[in-house]
Chains A and B, each alone.
Chain A
Amino acid sequence: MKVRMVIAALAAVAAVPAVAHHSFAMFDTSREVELRNVTVREWQWTSPHTWLFVVAANGDRYTIEGGNPGLMRRQGFTKGSMAPGMRVTVYIAPLRNGQKGGAINAVILPSGQMLGERKH
């Protein structure tokens, strides 16, 4: 499992996890973490927010929050974008508390297509 931490200057902070119903405060939007070649356990296309559960090769489990389906659809995501067993690379704004999770910035599908937008 390779996790690459990208630290950006605060002045360049621009990330908006497409989140509205609660505060963004739990996510560190000044950073972007790459979760490379993780396996999708579940993709919940639900309100108020979507959720992506992935497992890394070393067994680490990550819980990743996305925006409302309406917003995610406008970024190219659909209910069928991901399915259990699919290998993807996910870019997240990590949780500040150090737990394994964050907010979705972008996802690279097995086809190479990127959904969403990388922030850094």
Chain B
Amino acid sequence: MARCARIVLAVAALAVTALPGAAFAQQAETWPPPGVSFDGDPAAPDISGLWLGSETGVPGAAFAPNRGPMDGSPPTFWAPWPLPYQPAYRRIVEERAAALKQGRALGDMGARCLPFGLPRMLVAKVYPDEIVQTAGQVTFFMYGSMPIVVWTDGRSHPADLKPSYNGHSIGYWVGDTLHVETVGLNDRQTLDHYLNPHSDKLGLQWTVRRVAKDMLHLHVTMEDEKAFTEPVTTTNIWRRKTDPRWQVLDDGSCFENNRTQVDAEGNTDGFTKF
């Protein structure tokens, strides 16, 4: 929230320039400002539909598949790499890496059926997602998570935001690009499938642009002054899926038969019950 307030102040000082980042600050001026639309820019594409993104890989990590999702498309990567962790978070990474060598998955919240949240659900794709674009909001229905709503109706972030797995996202359209800011994330999930941590200071700036008829580019920038020494970015590539085999979205309840529940030490007994 503090960062959002800084953005508002900074942009207010820029008066009524039509910079994309100025959109939230210009409510008292011309609203919406030129070139910005909250209910859908006339030039904006309709991105509703079923999409399968790419999976974030880990360069050089033996335990990482670096293969991408099931459609065979290649993985995408964080930059810079290695992730520019502050010393305290570097120690968490090293502790988890040491546990991995013993087959233990410290910090694996997914095994406890907790939501994957953001940014993981934007960049670590295995299943296709349904995007529904309506007036005032763009909604992402994703496996293993509550829907991610990007409010495009001009609202601000709540003042009393409770940190959560998805945080709170507001956005606006500029031409063919949806600009989104996500704040209010908790620190319980990982950035990706590889147990890379983040803090509760994590904020996301991301854009969604339809670069081709059946392709989206999601450019994600992570700022986390507590965990990182500099911003981290990635561009995830989403491909539209029209084949009927992709269109079966299962309920996929994590609680139906979760045999991989892990204890506080990262151990699972799912393999010893038989």
| Chain A contact residues, CB within 8 Å of chain B | 10, 13-16, 18, 20-26, 29-30, 41, 44, 46-49, 51, 53, 61, 63, 65, 68-71, 73-75, 95-97, 99-101
| B158 CB–A CB distance under 8 Å | no
* Contact B65–A29 (Cβ < 8 Å): yes
Total A-B residue pairs with C-beta atoms closer than 8 Å? 125
> Does B102 interact with chain A (Cβ within 8 Å)?
yes
**B23 proximity list for chain A (CB < 8 A):** none
Stretch at the interface among B83-91, B168-176, B254-262: B254-262
A25 contacts B127, CB within 8 Å? no
Q: Which residues of A contact B65 (CB under 8 A)?
A: 13-16, 24, 29
Q: Is the CB of B102 within 8 A of A97?
A: yes
Residue in A26, A29, A71 whose CB lies within 8 Å of B70: A71
Q: Which of B63, B67, B253 contacts A48 (CB 8 A)?
A: B253
Given A48-B256, A49-B257, does the pair A20, B143 have CB atoms closer than 8 Å? yes
- With A20-B193, A30-B62, A70-B250 given, is the CB distance from A25 to B256 under 8 Å? no
Is the beta-carbon distance between B260 and A68 smaller than 8 angstroms? no
Report the stretch among B2-10, B39-47, B198-206, B241-249 that lies at the interface: B241-249
List 4 additional A-B contacts (Cβ < 8 Å) besides A22-B110, A70-B127. Answer: A23-B195, A29-B63, A29-B65, A68-B252
Residues of chain B within 8 A (CB-CB) of A16 are 65, 67, 70
Q: List 14 A-B residue pairs with CB atoms under 8 Å apart, sorted by A's residue number.
A: A22-B110, A22-B262, A24-B65, A26-B105, A47-B250, A48-B113, A48-B256, A48-B257, A51-B257, A63-B271, A63-B274, A96-B102, A96-B103, A99-B271
How many Å lie between the Cα of A26 and that of B193 in the bound state? 13
Judging by beta carbons under 8 Å apart, are A24 and B193 in contact?
yes
**Which of A18, A47, A70 is close to B254, meaning CB atoms less than 8 Å apart?**
A47
Shortest A59–chain B CB gap in Å is 13
Q: Is the CB of B111 within 8 A of A22?
A: yes
Q: Are A26 and B259 in contact (CB under 8 A)?
A: no
Q: How far is the CB of A7 from chain B (nearest CB, A)?
A: 12
Given A21-B110, A23-B193, A29-B63, are A65 and B270 neighbors across the interface (CB < 8 Å)? yes
In the assembled complex, which residues on chain A have CB atoms less than 8 Å from the CB atom of B274?
41, 53, 61, 63
> B63: nearest residue on chain A (CB-CB)?
A25
| B78 interface residue per 8 A CB criterion | no
State the CA gap A95–B63 with chains docked (Å).
12
B contact residues around A25 at 8 Å (CB):
63, 100, 103-105, 108, 195
A68 touches B250 (CB 8 A): yes
In the bound complex, residues from chain B placing their C-beta under 8 Å from that of A74 are 70, 245-246
Instruction: Write out the residue numbers on chain B whose beta carbons fall within 8 Å of the beta carbon of A23.
Output: 105, 108, 110-111, 193-195
Residue contact B268 to A26, C-beta cutoff 8 Å: yes
Q: Are B108 and A70 closer than 8 Å at their CB atoms?
A: no
